[in-house]
Structure 1
Amino acid sequence: MLMMIMNMLIFIFIMFMLGNMIFVSKHKHLLIVLMSLEFIVLSIFFLLLLYLSMIYFNLYMLMVFLVFSVCEGALGLSILVSMIRTHGNDYFQSFNLI
């Protein structure tokens, strides 16, 4: 049982690190950045699920976390749609902050 939990923790850590590496390295398109953020949120969700099930805690906190992550995803998609409508693409290079 302990070996299975350790394997799951290693898998979740690898997911988290891969999401962070994609977030840092792929900064050309907004869509890739948003998908890497969702991948990071998914790995954190798995970590919370594992932790809360290990301590036999109520899983209500997972529902709150999912609500916030869905709101974050909807906000990111609305920014993406707004950027595509105003600039025609999702390149960060064509987006001028000045």
Structure 2
Amino acid sequence: MSMELYFLCLMYFSGLISFLFKYKHMLLLLLSLEFMILSLYYGMFMFLSLMGYEYFFLMLFLILSVSEGVLGLGILVLMIRSYGNDFLMSFSFLW
């Protein structure tokens, strides 16, 4: 179990580090957020299977994470259509 916990922490922190250092492109930010959510999903799956609980909460978490991904992609498409790129520093949010 400890090896899986190390793997889970490595997954989460690598997603967090990529989120912190790749802040110029919106697509890279969304991919690192999805990787962090995937590691949280894996951790909850391991915890629920270890304790012998039902997986109903995982379905709710999966639905909410997919909704978050769809909203992020919608914002990305809106940015690319209106500004032409996905650089976060190339435009101002203060119009």
Q: Same fold (TM over 0.5)?
A: yes
1:96 aligns with 2:78: no
Note the alpha carbon deviations across 1:32-67, whole angstroms, 9 max, x for none: 000000000000000000000011000010000000
Match of 2:59 among 48, 60, 63: 63
List alignment gaps of at least 5 residues for structure 2: none
Matching residue of 2:44: 48
Give RMSD over aligned pairs: 0.5
List alignment gaps of at least 5 residues for structure 1: none
Matching residue of 2:9: 13
Match of 2:81 among 60, 85, 96: 85
How many residues are paired up? 94
Q: Give the CA deviation at 1:97.
A: 1.0
State the secondary structure of the residue aligned to 1:93: helix
Matching residue of 1:35: 31
Q: Give the CA deviation at 1:84.
A: 0.3
Q: Give the CA deviation at 1:93.
A: 1.2
Distance in 2 (CA, whole Å) between partners of 1:27 and 1:96 is 15
Q: Give the CA deviation at 1:78.
A: 0.1
Runs of 4+ in 1 over 6 A off after TM superposition: none
TM superposition score normalised by structure 2? 0.97
TM superposition score normalised by structure 1? 0.94
Distance in 2 (CA, whole Å) between partners of 1:87 and 1:70 is 25
Partner amino acid for 2:26? Answer: L
Q: Once the two structures are aligned, what percentage of the paired residues are identical?
A: 43
